[in-house]
Amino acid sequence: MLRDPLIAFVLRNGGADAALALLAESARPTQDAPVLQAALRQLREAGTAGSPFAMCMCSRLSRAGIGTLKSDHDAYMWAQRAAAVGFPPGLYELGQCFENGIGVARDIHRAHALYEQASGGGYGFAAQRLGRAYYDGDFGVRDLEKAVRCMERAADLGESLAALNLAEWYSCGDRLAKDYAAAVRWYQRGADLGDPLATLQLFLAYSEGELGLQRDLTLANRYKELAEQQDK
C-alpha cells in the first residue's frame, strides 16, 4: 500500500505521533463527515498541544477545506507552527504556502529554501519536489544533474514517485540521454516501493519486449498481478 508521504515519514521515524498518523490514515479514505470532523478535532487538539504532525495535517485540511472550512490563513498558520519546531514535513508544508501564495505573499525563493531544508531533514517528498523543480526550471534554475541527484535521494528515502519520475526521464530521453537499462532499473525500484504505475510499466515492457527487454509473458503476468494488488 502506498502511504501518504507525511504519514509514511512519521511511521518510519516512530515517536509519539505514530498513533495520530494511523488515525489520519484511517480517516482519509472515508466520505463520512462525522468521522472526518472527529479526526480533525483530535488533530486540532494535538496540534494545539504541540504535535508537529497534527499541525501539518491541520494545515493541509484547512488548505483543502476537508472536514473544515477552507482557510488559507489557517493553512499558513499551522504550517508556520510546524516549521518553527524544525519538523521536516512542516518545512515542506510552509514551502507549499510560499510557492502557491497560500495565506502569504508568493515567494518561490523562500519556497525553494524551505524545500532544501526539508529534504536535508530526511523528508523524501521534499527531495522529490526539488527534483521536479530542477528538471522543469520551476525556481528559475534548470539543472539536470541536481534534478537526478534529488530524485535519487527521494527514492532512497522511500518515495516511489521519484523512482517513477527517473524511469520516465530515462525512457523518453527528453532532457536526459535515453537509457533503457537505467529506466528498467528505476521502474523496478518503483515497483519494489509499491508503485502500481511503475509495476504496470514493467508488465507492458515484458509483454511487448520494450525498453530493451526480451518479451517474457510469464514475467509480464507476474507484474500485472502485482500491479493489481498494489492498486488495491
Going by C-beta distance under 8 Å and a sequence separation of 6 or more, which residues neighbour residue 167? 182, 183, 184, 185, 186, 187, 189, 190, 198, 201
CB atoms within 10 A of CB 197: 17
Q: Phi then psi for 181, rounded to 5 degrees? A: -65, -40
Please name the fold of domain 5-158: 1.25.40
Taking the domains of the chain in order of start, what are their residue ranges? 5-158, 171-232
C-alpha distance from residue 205 to each of 171, 213, 230 (Å): 11, 7, 18
* Global model pTM greater than 0.85: yes
Each residue of 184-231: pLDDT tens digit?
999 999 999 999 999 999 999 999 999 999 999 999 999 999 999 998
CB atoms within 10 A of CB 229: 12
Each residue of 5-35: pLDDT tens digit?
999 999 998 888 999 999 888 876 655 667 7
What is the per-residue burial (b if ≥16 Cβ within 10 Å, else e) of 13-34? eeeebeebbebbbebeeeeeee
CB atoms within 10 A of CB 109: 10
User: Distance between CA atoms of 156 and 75, rounded to whole angstroms?
Assistant: 29
